[in-house]
Amino acid sequence: AMIGKGEYRHFMLKEIYEQPQVIGDTLNALFNPAERTITLPALPFALETVERVTIVACGTSYYAGLVARYWLESVARVPVDIDVASEFRYRAPPLQKGGLALFISQSGETADTLAALRHCKAQGLWCVAVVNVPESTMAREAHAVLPTLAGPEIGVASTKAFTTQLVVMAALCLALARARHAIDRATEARLSRGLAEVPARAAEVLKYDDALHALAQEVAEARDVLYLGRGTSHAVALEGALKLKEISYIHAEGYPAGEMKHGPIALIDETVPVIVIAPHDGLFDKTAGNVQEVIARGGRIILLSDAEGIAHVGAGVAHAVTLPVVDPFVAPILYAIPVQLLAYHVAVIKGTDVDQPRNLAKSVTVE
Ligand code: G6P
């Protein structure tokens, strides 16, 4: 059937607004809310045997993998190796037969990721595809599939595929943590509760659309924009910068907040908006220090945080968006939404072709 934009001006906006629903659909397929347990589709290997995870992807899907690295290492206590597909293959990394490799892809057709999958399969790794298109080549060739239930994504800039990839990776992380006895019951219950709340919180986050729209004009006037964050928020910063580049053509960089002093701080002046992704988590105070370093150099901070964070950040922040308080585990899923909305509104102000940005393709099936 033909997919329409409905009441929305662009597919991208429609897909952003579908997120509470499709995040819920993806979660419901993996999560039993009564028992708060994860049930993954059948896998041809035992999760407790996994000793290391290799993640390969491109573009936005790669940033979903970056978030998952933080989760898998800190929660499931499993070492993770991650790379973009075009580098992974040619690095010729030593691979352990029987190891687990995850290929994250909306389309399931990206040439570099598919080649990496074939390479890993030939090396005797278990290959699991996290894909949104169930009849895709990656889904067919992998040993197992963890589907994202985002539904067809038309906008070239990925939105709902990203947040549903995160949901699948969070569920996998909890299942792996349990299988490896890396997590106690109380922690598992807390993280599961946080995950179960994501669809409702995502709906709340969409209510900040007007607030983000109001900030878009200032960002649209910039030549360069810097996105900062630590931990999983670093991956969200990278994704925020990618969204802005893709659809508004404004130069943007995502950086780990603590690394700013080794380069990007030289760019800071009043013309460079600095968008800081900082839920009030264990790294907040460190990021707040970086915020003050930017302010001291005349930089204009746009802070995405919660009430606690905004109360503790100190003076001088130009704009703050107060997002709901959520468990830090699931914060990257929710903080992805405001960076999508901000990029969207900036692109609309600039008058670019939001759904079909120049030079980009939805699915890159050549190397
Ligand atoms: C292209 C798209 C991106 C996407 C990337 C990876 O660059 O424009 O939105 O993130 O490919 O695509 P995949 O289908 O493998 O997730």
Read out DSSP for 289-337?
A: HHHHHHHHTT-EEEEEEEHHHHHHS-S--SEEEEEPP--TTTHHHHHHH
Taking only the tens place, the pLDDT of each residue in 51-99 is 999 999 999 999 999 999 999 999 999 999 999 999 998 999 999 998 9
Atom of ligand 1 at shortest range from CA of 107: 14
**Closest residue by CA, ligand 1 atom 8:** 362
Task: Give the pLDDT band of residue 36 (cuts 50, 70, 90).
Answer: confident
Q: Is the pLDDT of residue 220 over 80?
A: yes
Atom of ligand 1 at shortest range from CA of 60: 10
Centre of ligand 1 to C-alpha 271, Å, is: 31
**Closest residue by CA, ligand 1 atom 7:** 59
Integer Cα distance of 302 and 273 in angstroms: 7
Mean pLDDT of 257-267: 95
pLDDT value, residue 46: 96
Centre of ligand 1 to C-alpha 198, Å, is: 24
User: Is 362 one of the annotated active-site residues of the chain?
Assistant: yes
Centre of ligand 1 to C-alpha 162, Å, is: 10
Task: Give the pLDDT band of residue 1 (cuts 50, 70, 90).
Answer: low
Give the percent of the chain with pLDDT over 90: 96
Residues lining ligand 1, judged by CB closer than 6 Å? 58-61, 105-107, 110, 113, 156-158, 360, 362-364
CB-based contact 159:340 (threshold 8 Å):
yes
Q: Is the pLDDT of residue 2 over 90?
A: no
Per 3-state DSSP, the chain is made up of helix, strand and coil in percentages (nearest 5) of: 50, 15, 35
Mean pLDDT of 312-333: 96
Nearest 5°: the CA angle 208, 218, 344 is: 50
Beta strand segments in the chain, E: 31-32, 37-38, 53-57, 80-84, 100-105, 126-131, 144-145, 224-229, 251-256, 273-277, 300-306, 319-323
Task: Give the pLDDT band of residue 35 (cuts 50, 70, 90).
Answer: confident
Mean pLDDT of 207-217: 97
Centre of ligand 1 to C-alpha 135, Å, is: 17
pLDDT value, residue 261: 94
Task: Give the pLDDT band of residue 3 (cuts 50, 70, 90).
Answer: confident
Q: Is the pLDDT of residue 367 over 90?
A: no
Q: What is the biggest distance separating any 2 CA atoms in the chain, rounded to whole angstroms? A: 56
Say which of 5, 121, 350, 362 is annotated catalytic: 362
Q: Which of 243, 241, 320, 315 is nearest to 279 (CA)?
A: 320
CB-based contact 133:120 (threshold 8 Å):
no
What is the three-class DSSP state of 50?
A: coil
pLDDT value, residue 34: 80
Integer Cα distance of 59 and 255 in angstroms: 16
Question: Which residues are CB-neighbours of 276 under 8 A, at least 6 positions away?
Answer: 227, 228, 229, 257, 287, 290, 291, 301, 302, 303, 304, 305
Mean pLDDT of 21-49: 93
Centre of ligand 1 to C-alpha 110, Å, is: 7
Atom of ligand 1 at shortest range from CA of 59: 10
Pocket test for ligand 1, best of 110, 114, 135, 168 (most atoms within 8 A of CB): 110
pLDDT value, residue 217: 97
Taking only the tens place, the pLDDT of each residue in 151-183 is 999 999 999 999 999 999 999 999 999 999 999
Q: Which of 183, 158, 159, 154 is nearest to 170 (CA)?
A: 183
Centre of ligand 1 to C-alpha 189, Å, is: 34
Atom of ligand 1 at shortest range from CA of 61: 16
β-sheet bridge partners, residue 38: 31
**Closest residue by CA, ligand 1 atom 2:** 362
Centre of ligand 1 to C-alpha 364, Å, is: 7
Centre of ligand 1 to C-alpha 362, Å, is: 6
Q: Which two tokens stand for residue 143?
A: 């040993």
Atom of ligand 1 at shortest range from CA of 246: 8
pLDDT value, residue 33: 78
Taking only the tens place, the pLDDT of each residue in 142-151 is 999 999 999 9
Pocket test for ligand 1, best of 66, 105, 106, 112 (most atoms within 8 A of CB): 106
